[in-house]
Amino acid sequence: MSKYLDIADEVKAALDAGQPVVALESTIISHGMPWPQNLETALAVEEVIRKKGVVPATIAILDGRLKAGLSKNELEILAQKGQTATKASRRDFPRLLAGRGLGATTVAGTMIVASMAGIKVFATGGIGGVHRGAETTWDVSADLQELARTNTAVVCAGAKSILDLEKTLEYLETLGVPVIGYGTSELPAFFTSNSGLYLEERADSPEEVAGMLYAKWAAGLQGGAIIANPIPAQYSMPKEVIDPAIVQAVGEAARTGIKGKALTPFLLARITELTGGDSLEANIALVKNNASVAADIAIAYARMAKEDV
C-alpha cells in the first residue's frame, strides 16, 4: 500500500470485512458540473450507494495525499475549488504528491487509487476516449491505457458522446479491455442510449457481471473492464437535439484552440448552454443510475469473493 494513501475509516472497515465498496471519481465534481449542482450531485450519488447498503469512496488528492473516501467537508472544498483543482491522471500524481497539491481524479486517476485501496468497482458518468479528429491531433484519453493495466471495473454510460465512439471502441478492443453492455448489446452514447455500435459482450444481471470480473482477475488477466450502462430512457436526449449541440461545441473548441485537459470541461459546459441545461440534467441522472448499478455489482462481487475463500 502506498505511503501516500489515506483510506477513510468507513471505507477501510468495509474493505477489511469483505463488504462492498464503490469508488467515485472527483473530476465530475470539479470540472464536470457548476457549483452548487456539483456538490449536490456528489452527495446524492453517495446516498444512492449507501441506500443499497454499500460504502461509497469518492477519490481525490488533497494536500498531496491520495484519498479513498472523502468527508462532506472535503467534498465541499473540492466542489468550491472547481476547475482550479488539477485534473489528476497518472502523469500528474508525482507533482501533486510532492507539492502537496489538490487534484480531482479522472477516470484513470480514480482507477489507480481504487486499485491501491483494494476497491474493485467504480462508478462514473462516461469514460474518456479517442477524440474526434484524433487522426491529426493524437488526442486520446489516458483512461484507455489505464483500463488496460489496472484491475478496476468501471460502470459508465459508455464513452462521452463528444468523442469518436467508433474509434474509442476499436482502441479498447486492441487493448484487450472487455466492454460489457449492461442489459444492452449496443454501446451507449452517454446522453443517449444508442450509438449504432454493436458490443460483443452483454450481461443482464449484477451476478453475471460479477462472474465475468471474478473469472478475469482470478485467471490472472490484468486490466479493467467497462460495464456500459445506458442512460435511463426518460432522460435520454433526442439525437436531433444533442448531436448538433456536440458538433457546434466541437467546432467552437477547434476554432478557438481549446484542447488538452481544457477540452472536455469546455465541451460539456458549452453543450449544457446549447441545450438549455437539459444535458446537465441528463448527466446527473446517468451518474446516479450508474452508481446504483455499480452498488449492485459490488454486492454480487463481494458475495462471490467470500464464497470462494
DSSP 123-160: E-S-B--BBTTHHHH--B-HHHHHHHHS--EEEESBB-
d(CA 304, CA 195): 33
Residue 169: partners with Cβ closer than 8 Å, 6 or more residues away = 159, 179, 187, 197
Residue type, 280: L
**234 burial via Cβ count (<10 Å: 0-12, 13-18, 19+):** exposed
Residue 13's pLDDT band, with cuts at 50, 70 and 90, is very high
Strand pairing partners for 65? 62
The residues near 304 (Cβ < 8 Å, ≥ 6 apart) are: 207, 210, 211, 214
Domain 5-307, CATH among 1.20.1250.20, 3.90.1150.10, 3.40.1790.10, 3.20.20.70: 3.40.1790.10
What is the pTM (predicted TM-score) of this model? 0.92
Q: Which is the catalytic residue, given 12, 87, 160, 288?
A: 160
Please report, to the nearest 10 degrees, the dihedral formed by the alpha carbons of residues 130, 133, 136, 139 taken in order. Answer: -30
Q: Which position among 25, 46, 76, 146 bears the catalytic label?
A: 25
**pLDDT exceeds 60 at position 96:** yes
Write the pLDDT tens digit of every residue in 234-278: 998 778 887 888 888 888 988 898 877 777 778 777 887 887 777
Judged against a pLDDT cut of 80, whether residue 65 lies above it is answered with yes
pLDDT at res. 19:
98
- 49-54 long-range contacts, CB within 8 A, separation 24+: 49/22, 49/24, 49/123, 49/291, 49/292, 49/294, 49/295, 52/292, 52/295, 52/296, 52/299, 53/20, 53/295, 53/299, 54/19, 54/20, 54/21, 54/22, 54/295, 54/298, 54/299
Question: Tens digit of pLDDT for each residue in 153-208?
Answer: 999 999 877 789 999 999 999 999 999 999 999 999 888 888 999 999 999 999 99
Nearest-Å Rg of the Cα atoms of the chain is 18
Catalytic site includes residue 160: yes
- Is the pLDDT at 43 greater than 70? The verdict is yes
How does residue 1 score in pLDDT terms, banded at 50, 70 and 90? low
Average pLDDT, the chain: 93
Span 109-131, average pLDDT: 95
Q: How far, in Å, CA of 123 to CA of 89, rounded?
A: 17
Mean pLDDT of 52-79: 97
Q: Point out the least confidently predicted range of 119-123, 216-220, 224-228, 272-276.
A: 272-276
